[in-house]
């Protein structure tokens, strides 16, 4: 299974999984939290490699993340996962299947027009105010960051479904914000969410690698 994986990818998958298991044992996490941590590592690296299976795993993991968000009253992340990210991910799965190389089973990296990029960004600038007042209605903590998190997340997953390297640049911003959101309950002593917090840090590392990986894929495809 790992024959076409480089050293970083193998280290990320194996090392990340071991870290998640150790954290789950130390924090005495339940089974669902442990599964979430392992799926986070696996789906992230598969997506960075441009493999369709990564999107399948990511969709399932997103639903688990939504459950955690509801449990800890981080409504912005729950709204993102259930009503926005999951439908976009389903669209992305269909799009990825239709645009994968039959031999390598990797997707074809896309280049968006300036018009499409502008309209995508503009739509989220406009929608920010809608997210803001919706979250205010639910008495969401850290309102500015939470509303911004939704905007960036929608852009990131839209770009991911469109198979452009822009996805990873926006994911870097998204996961930085998500890390800050989960840091607050962790500092209050809710050690049970340590795995979720570390997952976001691992996602951030993978985002940086994803930029490099997808640029290399695009270069090979152009050649």
How far apart (Å, rounded) are the C-alpha atoms in residues 190 and 193? 6
Q: Give this prediction's pTM.
A: 0.87
Judge contact between 46 and 40, C-beta under 8 A.
no
**Domain edges within the chain:** 7-222
How far apart (Å, rounded) are the C-alpha atoms in residues 152 and 177? 9
> Within 13 Å of residue 79, how many CA atoms lie on the same side as its CB?
18
Q: How far is CA 105 from the centre of its chain?
A: 21
Length of the chain: 223
pLDDT number for residue 173: 94
Unique residue bearing structure tokens 């439908």: 87
How far apart (Å, rounded) are the C-alpha atoms in residues 125 and 143? 16
Backbone phi, psi, residue 51, to 5°: -95, 135
pLDDT in tens, the chain (223 residues): 777 899 999 999 999 999 989 988 887 888 998 898 899 899 999 999 999 999 999 999 989 989 988 887 777 778 778 988 899 999 999 999 999 887 777 899 999 999 999 999 999 999 999 889 888 887 877 788 888 888 998 999 999 999 999 999 999 998 998 888 888 888 888 777 777 788 788 889 999 999 999 999 999 888 7
pLDDT number for residue 57: 93
Judge contact between 156 and 171, C-beta under 8 A.
yes
Residue 139 backbone zone (phi > 0: left; psi -120 to 50: alpha; other: beta): left
Beta strands in the chain (DSSP E): none
């Amino acid at each position: 299974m790992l024959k076409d994986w480089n050293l970083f990818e193998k280290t990320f998958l194996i090392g990340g999984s071991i870290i998640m298991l150790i954290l789950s044992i130390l924090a005495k996490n339940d089974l669902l939290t442990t599964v979430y941590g392992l799926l986070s590592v696996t789906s992230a690296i598969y997506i960075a490699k441009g493999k369709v299976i990564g999107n399948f795993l990511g969709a399932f993991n997103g639903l688990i993340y939504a459950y955690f968000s509801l449990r800890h009253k981080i409504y912005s992340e729950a709204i993102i996962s259930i009503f926005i990210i999951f439908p976009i991910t389903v669209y992305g799965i269909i799009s990825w299947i239709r645009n994968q190389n039959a031999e390598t089973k990797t997707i074809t990296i896309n280049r968006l027009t300036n018009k499409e990029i502008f309209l995508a960004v503009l739509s989220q600038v406009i929608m920010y105010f809608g997210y803001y007042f919706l979250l205010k209605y639910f008495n969401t903590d850290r309102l500015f960051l939470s509303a911004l998190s939704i905007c960036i997340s929608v852009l990131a997953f839209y770009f991911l479904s469109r198979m452009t390297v822009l996805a990873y640049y926006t994911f870097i911003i998204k996961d930085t914000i998500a890390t800050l959101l989960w840091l607050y309950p962790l500092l209050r002593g809710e050690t049970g969410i340590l795995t979720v917090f570390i997952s976001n840090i691992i996602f951030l590392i993978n985002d940086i690698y994803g930029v490099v990986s997808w640029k290399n894929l695009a270069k090979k495809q152009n050649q």
